[in-house]
């Protein structure tokens, strides 16, 4: 059997569920947290970047408040989450510190990822943390969300974070060894699914299907998360968080649990999305040198090669790159708005900062965020 997709993955999102983190609700499992921290340190040393999405705030809050069971009222759940998140933070901070790693807490809501500016800000912060070698630890910002605007479960959050940072892979650690052909708790004959295509509809039936008791969480949300992650080209592994050295072994290429493979790579998925993008917010007119650099040398687009910026695009919008006669050469995600582009076009990279007072990127459109058109 081929190697685990985690072996080749560079940027990985790891999601751990409440039952694992809190030892089935009995309070934080410090030994498990230490194990994952040790393994993530090992995976980082292999040159991979890791983001951790951790549940457990509500379960830990319930334990800290001395409640015998999870409350049903939204506000009590939110209060429990606020109490429990302190415990999660403390525990992760000291577990990772033991292995020489710094951590950062990021709490997100659905609205943060739906709003374009907040999406880009969250993305930039996460990328900056990863480049600094810090491990971001993400949870839903339970205090400010109500049922209608909740991710609802952290499997979904894990997938959206994978899309956000263009991760190569999502690892969902849970209390089962992977996806079975039926719920193994009630079907002792169920078999482990070792590999399948992410998005394969038959998986949803194995996991219970929407609307069943399992459909509100359990494996179903993991299958849907794998489908979402695959949209940006990331494959998913579902495995047991209790399996010794699970993360390190996956990273070394060992096959563990269930692998749900995406049909394209993150780069190909992004380029397809850009090529298909119909809502172009503007265009830039390139000089002959820039046209040659894009077409023949596979270069990024630098401000110096831009003669004109048309329309009113913002940073992150898809813009069209045309030659002086209006022929579309490429399409890509702009790093600067139309107004900024007008101030930096025709300038060499070294003068961008003086013209704007800051520099985000030296390219107007990076090659990885660009597709050539009509070739
Ligand atoms: N086909 C299946 N294969 C494996 N587990 C399943 C399946 N269908 C339902 N489940 C249930 O899903 C549970 C894991 O989901 P959940 O309790 O939400 O975990 P987590 O807290 O890790 O998100 C398992 O304990 C199992 O009972
Ligand atoms: N934000 C919540 C997450 C709840 C959740 O999705 O839990 P799980 O299904 O165990 O991943 C918490 O930290 O308690």
The CA-based angle 38-39-40, given to 5 degrees, is 95
Q: In this structure, are 182 and 151 located in the same domain?
A: yes
For residue 208, the CA-to-ligand 1 centroid distance in Å is 10
Atom of ligand 2 lying closest to residue 21 CA: 10
Q: In this structure, are 254 and 287 located in the same domain?
A: no
Protein residue with its CA nearest to atom 11 in ligand 2: 17
Q: In this structure, are 339 and 211 located in the same domain?
A: no
E strand or H helix at 309, and its extent?
Answer: strand 306-311
> pTM here?
0.89
Query: Is residue 1, in this structure, part of any structural domain at all?
Result: no
β-pair partners for 49: 11
Q: Is there a contact between 247 and 253 (Cβ–Cβ < 8 Å)? A: no
Task: State the average pLDDT for the chain.
Answer: 93
Q: In this structure, are 313 and 202 located in the same domain?
A: no
Domain with 251 in it: what CATH number? 3.40.1160.10
Mean pLDDT in residue range 147-163 = 88
Q: In this structure, are 218 and 306 located in the same domain?
A: no
- Write down which residue in 213, 241, 270 finishes a domain: 270
- Write down which residue in 270, 288, 303 finishes a domain: 270
- Write down which residue in 270, 292, 317 finishes a domain: 270
Query: Is residue 206, in this structure, part of any structural domain at all?
Result: yes
Report pLDDT for 213: 39
Query: Is residue 6, in this structure, part of any structural domain at all?
Result: no
Handedness of CA 175, 180, 184, 189 (dihedral sign): negative
For residue 176, the CA-to-ligand 1 centroid distance in Å is 7
- Residues annotated as binding site? 15, 55, 142, 154, 174-175, 216-222
Report pLDDT for 375: 65
Report pLDDT for 181: 95
For residue 182, the CA-to-ligand 2 centroid distance in Å is 23
Report pLDDT for 275: 86
Surface-to-core class of residue 211, CB atoms within 10 Å of its CB (0-12 exposed, 13-18 middle, 19+ buried): exposed
Q: Is 360 in the pocket of ligand 1 (CB under 6 A)?
A: no
Q: In this structure, are 103 and 176 located in the same domain?
A: yes
Q: In this structure, are 238 and 95 located in the same domain?
A: yes
| pLDDT tens-digit map of 283-330 | 999 999 999 999 999 999 999 999 999 999 999 899 999 999 999 999
Q: Tell me the pLDDT band of 120, cut-offs 50, 70 and 90.
A: confident
Report the DSSP pairing between strands 282-286 and 258-261.
Answer: unpaired
Query: Is residue 147, in this structure, part of any structural domain at all?
Result: yes
For residue 56, the CA-to-ligand 2 centroid distance in Å is 6
Report pLDDT for 43: 98
For ligand 2, residues with CB inside 6 Å are 17-18, 55-59, 81, 139-140, 142, 153-154, 217
H helical segments located in 27-70: 30-45, 57-64
| Residue 30 in this model has a pLDDT that exceeds 60 | yes
For residue 55, the CA-to-ligand 2 centroid distance in Å is 4
Report pLDDT for 217: 67
Query: Is residue 4, in this structure, part of any structural domain at all?
Result: no
Rg of the Cα atoms in the chain? 23
Q: In this structure, are 59 and 96 located in the same domain?
A: yes
Query: Is residue 56, in this structure, part of any structural domain at all?
Result: yes
Q: Which residues constitute the domain of residue 283?
A: 277-372
Q: In this structure, are 243 and 282 located in the same domain?
A: no
Query: Is residue 118, in this structure, part of any structural domain at all?
Result: yes
| pLDDT tens-digit map of 325-336 | 999 999 999 999
Q: In this structure, are 204 and 340 located in the same domain?
A: no
Q: In this structure, are 228 and 130 located in the same domain?
A: yes
| Residue 211 in this model has a pLDDT that exceeds 60 | no
Q: What is the DSSP string of 238-307?
A: EEETTSTTHHHHHHTT---SEEEE-SS-HHHHHHHHHHH-----EEEEEPHHHHHHHHHH-PPBPGGGEE
Protein residue with its CA nearest to atom 2 in ligand 2: 55
Relative to the alpha carbon of 157, which ligand is closest? 2
Query: Is residue 3, in this structure, part of any structural domain at all?
Result: no
Q: Number of structural domains, the chain?
A: 2
Surface-to-core class of residue 63, CB atoms within 10 Å of its CB (0-12 exposed, 13-18 middle, 19+ buried): buried
| Residue 215 in this model has a pLDDT that exceeds 50 | no
Smallest CA-to-CA distance from 209 within 196, 197, 200, 219 is with 219
Domain with 354 in it: what CATH number? 2.30.130.10
Sheet containing 235-240: order of strands:
103-108, 135-140, 49-54, 11-16, 169-174, 235-240, 258-261, 195-197
Q: In this structure, are 68 and 20 located in the same domain?
A: yes
Q: Is 56 in the pocket of ligand 1 (CB under 6 A)?
A: no
| Residue 212 in this model has a pLDDT that exceeds 50 | no
- Collapsed DSSP state (helix, strand, coil) of residue 101: coil
């Amino acid at each position: 059997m081929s190697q685990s997709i985690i072996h080749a993955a560079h940027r990985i999102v790891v999601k751990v569920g409440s039952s694992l983190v809190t030892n089935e609700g009995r309070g934080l499992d410090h030994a498990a947290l230490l194990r994952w921290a040790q393994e993530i340190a090992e995976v980082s040393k292999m040159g991979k970047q890791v983001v951790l999405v951790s549940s457990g705030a509500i379960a830990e809050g319930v334990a800290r408040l001395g409640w015998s069971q999870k409350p049903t009222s939204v506000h009590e759940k939110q209060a429990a989450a606020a109490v429990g998140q302190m415990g999660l933070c403390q525990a992760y901070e000291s577990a990772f510190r033991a292995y020489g790693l710094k951590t950062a807490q990021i709490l997100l809501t659905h609205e943060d990822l739906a709003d374009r500016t907040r999406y880009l800000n969250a993305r930039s912060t996460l990328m900056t943390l990863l480049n600094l070698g810090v491990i971001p630890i993400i949870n839903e910002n339970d205090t400010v969300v109500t049922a209608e605007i909740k991710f609802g479960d952290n499997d979904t959050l894990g997938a959206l974070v994978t899309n956000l940072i263009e991760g190569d892979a999502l690892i969902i650690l849970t209390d089962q060894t992977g996806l079975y052909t039926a719920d193994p708790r009630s079907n002792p004959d169920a078999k482990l699914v070792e590999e399948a295509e992410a998005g394969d509809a038959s998986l949803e039936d194995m996991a219970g299907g929407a609307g069943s008791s399992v459909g509100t969480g359990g494996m179903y949300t993991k299958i849907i998360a794998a489908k979402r992650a695959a949209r940006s080209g990331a494959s998913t592994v579902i495995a047991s968080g209790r399996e010794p050295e699970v993360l390190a072994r996956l990273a070394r290429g060992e096959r563990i649990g269930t692998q749900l493979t995406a049909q394209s790579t993150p780069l190909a998925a992004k380029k397809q999305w850009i090529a298909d993008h119909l809502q172009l917010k503007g265009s830039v007119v390139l000089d002959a040198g820039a046209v040659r650099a894009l077409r023949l040398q596979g270069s990024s687009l630098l401000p110096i090669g831009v003669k004109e910026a048309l329309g009113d695009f913002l940073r992150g919008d898809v813009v069209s790159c045309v030659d002086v006669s209006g022929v579309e050469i490429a399409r890509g995600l702009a790093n600067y708005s139309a107004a900024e582009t007008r101030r930096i076009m025709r300038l060499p990279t070294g003068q961008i900062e003086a013209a704007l007072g800051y520099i985000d990127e030296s390219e107007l459109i990076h090659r990885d965020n660009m597709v050539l058109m009509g070739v």
